[in-house]
Amino acid sequence: MAPVKLANVRKSFGAVEIIQGVDVDIVDGEFLVLVGPSGCGKSTLLRMIAGLESISSGEIAIGDRVVNDLEPKFRDIAMVFQNYALYPHMTVERNMGFSLEHRGHSKSEIAERVQWAAQILDLAKLLDRYPRQLSGGQRQRVAMGRAIVRNPQVFLFDEPLSNLDAKLRVVMRAEIKSLHQRLGVTTVYVTHDQVEAMTMADRIVVMNGGKVEQIGTPLELYDRPANRFVAGFIGSPAMNFLPGTITRAGFEAGGVTLPLPGPIAERDGQDAVYGIRPEHLALDGEGLEAEVLLVEPMGSETQVTLRLAGQQMIAVFRERISARPGETIRLRPDVAAAHLFDAASGARLN
Amino acid sequence: MAPATSPTGSDHTGSRRRPFWTMERRDALAGYLFIAPQLIGITIFVLIPLCLVFWFSLHEWNVLAARFTYTGAANYKALLSDPGLGEVFGATAIFSLGLVVLNMSLALLLAVLLSQKLTGITVFRTLFFSPVVVSLVAWTIVWSFLLQKNGGLNAILQVFGLEGSNWLRDPTTAMISVIVVQVFKNVGLNMILFLAALQGVPKELYEAARVDGVSPFKQFRRITVPLISPTILLTSIITIVGSLQVFAQIAVLTQGGPGMSTTVLVYYLYQQAFQFHRFGYGSTLSIVLFVIVAVLTFVQWQMRKRIVFYER
Ligand SMILES: Nc1ncnc2c1ncn2[C@@H]1O[C@H](COP(=O)(O)OP(=O)(O)OP(=O)(O)O)[C@@H](O)[C@H]1O
Ligand SMILES: [Mg+2]
């Protein structure tokens, strides 16, 4: 267990800078999730921590050691790969013990560690099987077993659940989380699935185009996204955006005026984007008119696609909605939960 | 789409007379037609000659004297008392073993070197593969000049103040020269097969091994070799069988000499049949060669469970 410190870390492939100066302080024992759209550099950053990719500039420290020029095996990290990277010609037992064999552990010690890991991950019955004889979820657990037998300082996961079906993903998500709670090892977990990020993370790092957009706890990111990108990326269905202008009367967009969150005096006349999450639109007889486009009942809630102020939006209601496409309903945004972003930079204004 | 129970459904269960060309029969016909060319080829060019050779081996057949008399197992008994045969088997074993070991290890070494991602590496791959497509006889004749007493190799050695031997005429160097010439000719083929196999090993396995703390040499031994073992088995069978059939190289380079030192089984067979006109005995030697190849291949195939660590 050790903290991990990234200071102004950069990486270029040829002339292209893929990681453009990342600063993150990962606390000892923390579960940190790196999330972002495809190609934003999450895997590259993780591989740099692992030592599989060189660092163009900046500094990475694990514990109190700067590891920039250290081979992976000296970094005391364990990595779980997206496709598991199990050795196909070795049994589950050998797969898990392989790293220990090469670190000078005795046979009995290896057997003991492997048994311990198999116990935790419920693999005891599968030790003699080969990877090709396992299901996706079992392979996933073997890959985790291989990581935990070494008792490393840091776990690195690169989209470990993306090859599993939706149901198994939820199960394994919980398993990884409880494993972390049990072992308390500092973990860096890469995913492009924001639900995974929200449910598992102590803190989330949202990345985009090789830069960090925001770092914070899941609810911080959800309640106070620092910019439009984070606001749109975190939350499902995504936040609704309404471009318009800030005035003394309120936020004017598409012929309607919405109440503003917070004071606006000095921002009169500024172009901005109004952000409101689907669950923060409530039915109200006095509210704004919206045309219903699509109603999707899901049992516990109802998702309605509608047009409000000329903009397509999604609203989610706890109650059941009987409206049909083409009809008009009236909605009121929850001002306290509304967000304002600068139209040009996307930075948060309120 | 619920399955409809049609009133004629019972027709398919066979209550009506089935037509001769059922689905299975048509599939079977198509299958036989597809393998027919190969089957006909093997019959005409392999099976029939094999039977004929066996038939000839039961005869004393001298073409010049126009003698073709049935002698039963006499040729096979002659094998046992043939004074040259021991030496021939010895030369064959040395040649095959030397060739296989040298060829396979060089091919694997080249494949590992050439699988690196470096600019211009394809030039080298082409370079090492090109001898495979060169005419065998032309290749061998060029080497026979290079290896002469006053040939190119010795001229190069002289620049360094070394005196080379008469490579092909000296009993100590003739065999190794023949082996090396043949390895250079064919190593490219195994190299390409190994290259393809190496590229089939997922690179994440090496990354996982790096994180696991496995040294590059151990990665090669514990990951690469097991994962390419099917190819190692394949190339070893091809190479051994090929080595037992080497003829033109010997004929051009040493004619089996000096003495009998490079007279391998095929060359001996050729001498008996075409130089001494003992076709019956030559046929017998062919059968011996056939049995050796068959047994070796069978043994290697049986060993695959222990050699091949990993089969898809
Ligand atoms: N070896 C390389 N050479 C050149 N460019 C690379 C290399 N590896 C990655 N890249 C580029 O770096 C960028 C980031 O890649 P990376 O794999 O880190 O993305 P990612 O965030 O993990 O995406 P995904 O969610 O799709 O896995 C991509 O634009 C990719 O094309
Ligand atoms: Mg990735």
Tens-place pLDDT, residues A207-252: 999 999 999 999 999 999 999 999 999 988 999 999 999 888 888 8
In this prediction, residue A168 has a pLDDT band, given cuts at 50, 70 and 90, of: confident
What's the CA-to-centroid distance between A6 and ligand 2, angstroms? 19
If you average pLDDT over residues A299-315, what whole number do you get?
Answer: 91
Same domain, B160 and B192: yes
Closest-CA residue to A87 (of A142, A160, A126): A142
Ligand nearest to the Cα of A210, by number: 1
Q: Whose CA is nearest to atom 1 of ligand 1?
A: A13
Averaged pLDDT of chain A = 91
Residue B76 falls inside a structural domain = no
Sheet of A57-62: strand order equals A16-26, A4-13, A57-62, A65-66
Q: Is A88 in Cβ contact with B212 (below 8 Å)?
A: no
Angle between helices A92-101 and A136-148 (to 10 degrees): 20
Distance CA B83, CA B85 (A): 6
Residue B36 burial class via C-beta count within 10 angstroms: exposed 0-12, middle 13-18, buried 19 and up = exposed
Query: Would strands A186-191 and A31-35 be described as parallel, antiparallel, or unpaired?
Result: parallel
A180 Cα to chain B: minimum distance (Å):
20
Residue B1 falls inside a structural domain = no
Q: Whose CA is nearest to atom 6 of ligand 1?
A: A13
Q: Is B210 in Cβ contact with A73 (below 8 Å)?
A: yes
Q: Is B213 in Cβ contact with A88 (below 8 Å)?
A: no
**Between B292 and B82, whose confidence is greater?**
B292
Distance CA A20, CA A14 (A): 14
Note down the domain range covering B54: 25-70
A87 Cα to chain B: minimum distance (Å):
7
In this prediction, residue B4 has a pLDDT band, given cuts at 50, 70 and 90, of: very low
Same domain, B29 and B114: no
Q: Whose CA is nearest to atom 2 of ligand 1?
A: A13
The pLDDT score that the predictor gives to residue B312 is: 46
Closest-CA residue to B142 (of B7, B249, B6): B249
Domains of chain A: 4-233 (3.40.50.300), 240-342 (2.40.50.140)
Residue B13 falls inside a structural domain = no
Same domain, B217 and B101: yes
Residue A154: how many other CB atoms lie within 10 Å? 23
Residue B278 falls inside a structural domain = yes
Which residues pair with residue A157 across a beta bridge?
A80, A189
The pLDDT score that the predictor gives to residue B254 is: 85
Same domain, B141 and B268: yes
CATH number of the domain residue B209 falls in? 1.10.3720.10
In this prediction, residue B309 has a pLDDT band, given cuts at 50, 70 and 90, of: low
Q: Is A52 in Cβ contact with B210 (below 8 Å)?
A: yes
| The one-letter amino acid at A223 | D
In this prediction, residue A299 has a pLDDT band, given cuts at 50, 70 and 90, of: confident
Q: Which of A71, A78, A85 has the CB atom closest to B202's CB atom?
A: A85
If you average pLDDT over residues B63-71, what whole number do you get?
Answer: 78
Same domain, B41 and B176: no
For chain B, list the strands marked E by DSSP. 59-62, 67-70
Q: Is B205 in Cβ contact with A85 (below 8 Å)?
A: yes
Residue B139 falls inside a structural domain = yes
pLDDT(A157) > 90: yes
Ligand 1: lining residues by beta carbon, under 6 Å: A 13, 18, 36, 38-44, 192
In this prediction, residue B233 has a pLDDT band, given cuts at 50, 70 and 90, of: confident
The pLDDT score that the predictor gives to residue A127 is: 92
Same domain, B35 and B125: no
Chain A residue numbers touching B308 (CB-CB < 8 A): none
For the CA of A14, the closest atom of ligand 1 is 4
In this prediction, residue B81 has a pLDDT band, given cuts at 50, 70 and 90, of: confident
The pLDDT score that the predictor gives to residue B11 is: 47
> Nearest residue of A to residue B311 by CA position?
A89
Same domain, B53 and B154: no
B119 Cα to chain A: minimum distance (Å):
15
Of the residues B8, B40, B70, the one at which a domain ends: B70
Same domain, B119 and B32: no
The pLDDT score that the predictor gives to residue B185 is: 86
Tokens 């039915």 correspond to: A283
If you average pLDDT over residues A129-148, what whole number do you get?
Answer: 90
Residue A320 burial class via C-beta count within 10 angstroms: exposed 0-12, middle 13-18, buried 19 and up = exposed
Question: How many domains does chain B fold into?
Answer: 2
Chain B residue numbers touching A50 (CB-CB < 8 A): 211
pLDDT in tens, B8-44: 444 455 556 778 888 889 999 999 999 999 999 999 9
Same domain, B62 and B177: no
If you average pLDDT over residues B250-275, what whole number do you get?
Answer: 84
The pLDDT score that the predictor gives to residue B248 is: 85
A90 Cα to chain B: minimum distance (Å):
9
Distance CA B108, CA B225 (A): 10
> Nearest residue of A to residue B206 by CA position?
A85
Q: Is A77 in Cβ contact with B214 (below 8 Å)?
A: no
pTM of this structure: 0.79
Of the residues B15, B40, B70, the one at which a domain ends: B70
Chain B residue numbers touching A72 (CB-CB < 8 A): 210-211, 213
* Chain A positions touching chain B (beta carbons under 8 Å): 50-52, 71-73, 77-79, 81, 83, 85, 87-89, 98-99, 102-103, 146, 150
* B230 upstream amide cis, omega within 30 of 0: no
Q: Which two three-digit tokens encode residue B267?
A: 């060359």
Same domain, B59 and B174: no
pLDDT in tens, A170-212: 888 998 999 899 989 999 999 988 899 999 999 999 999 999 9
Same domain, B169 and B199: yes
Q: Which of B211, B223, B310 has the CB atom closest to A50's CB atom?
A: B211
**Between B218 and B59, whose confidence is greater?**
B218
Chain B residue numbers touching A150 (CB-CB < 8 A): 212
pLDDT in tens, B264-293: 888 998 988 888 888 888 888 999 999 998
Q: Which two three-digit tokens encode residue A92?
A: 């589950």
Residue B95 falls inside a structural domain = yes
The pLDDT score that the predictor gives to residue A266 is: 72
Residue B277 falls inside a structural domain = yes
**Between A97 and A163, whose confidence is greater?**
A97
Please identify among residues 222-251 of chain B the ones whose CB lies closer than 8 Å to any CB of chain A.
222-223, 226-227
pLDDT(A309) > 90: no
Q: Is A88 in Cβ contact with B210 (below 8 Å)?
A: no
Q: Is B207 in Cβ contact with A52 (below 8 Å)?
A: yes
pLDDT(B1) > 50: no
What's the CA-to-centroid distance between A19 and ligand 2, angstroms? 13
Pocket test for ligand 1, best of A9, A10, A13, A22 (most atoms within 8 A of CB): A13
Pocket test for ligand 1, best of A44, A81, A157, A208 (most atoms within 8 A of CB): A44
- The number of residues making up chain B comes to 312
Residue B245 falls inside a structural domain = yes
SS3 per residue for chain A: CCCEEEEEEEEEECCEEEEEEEEEEECCCCEEEEECCCCCCHHHHHHHHHCCCCCCEEEEEECCEECCCCCHHHCCEEEECCCCCCCCCCCHHHHHHHHHHCCCCCHHHHHHHHHHHHHHHCCHHHCCCCHHHCCHHHHHHHHHHHHHCCCCCEEEEECCCCCCCHHHHHHHHHHHHHHHHHHCCEEEEEECCHHHHHHHCCEEEEEECCEEEEEECHHHHHHCCCEHHHHHHCCCCCCEEEEEEECCCCEEECCEEECCCCCCHHHCCCEEEEEECHHHEEEEEEEEEEEEEEEEECCCCEEEEEEECCEEEEEEECCCCCCCCCCEEEEEECHHHCEEEECCCCEECC
Q: Which two three-digit tokens encode residue B178?
A: 């023949």
Please compute, for residue A350, the number of CA atoms within 13 A of its CA located in the half-sphere on the CB side.
Answer: 23
pLDDT(B3) > 60: no
pLDDT in tens, B170-209: 888 888 888 988 899 888 899 999 999 999 899 999 999 9
The pLDDT score that the predictor gives to residue A265 is: 61
B223 Cα to chain A: minimum distance (Å):
8
Least confident of A39-53, A123-137, A156-170, B54-68: B54-68
The pLDDT score that the predictor gives to residue A249 is: 84
The pLDDT score that the predictor gives to residue B306 is: 67
Same domain, B113 and B53: no
In this prediction, residue B310 has a pLDDT band, given cuts at 50, 70 and 90, of: low
pLDDT in tens, B105-160: 999 999 998 888 777 888 888 888 888 888 888 888 888 888 787 777 777 887 88
Q: Is A87 in Cβ contact with B211 (below 8 Å)?
A: no
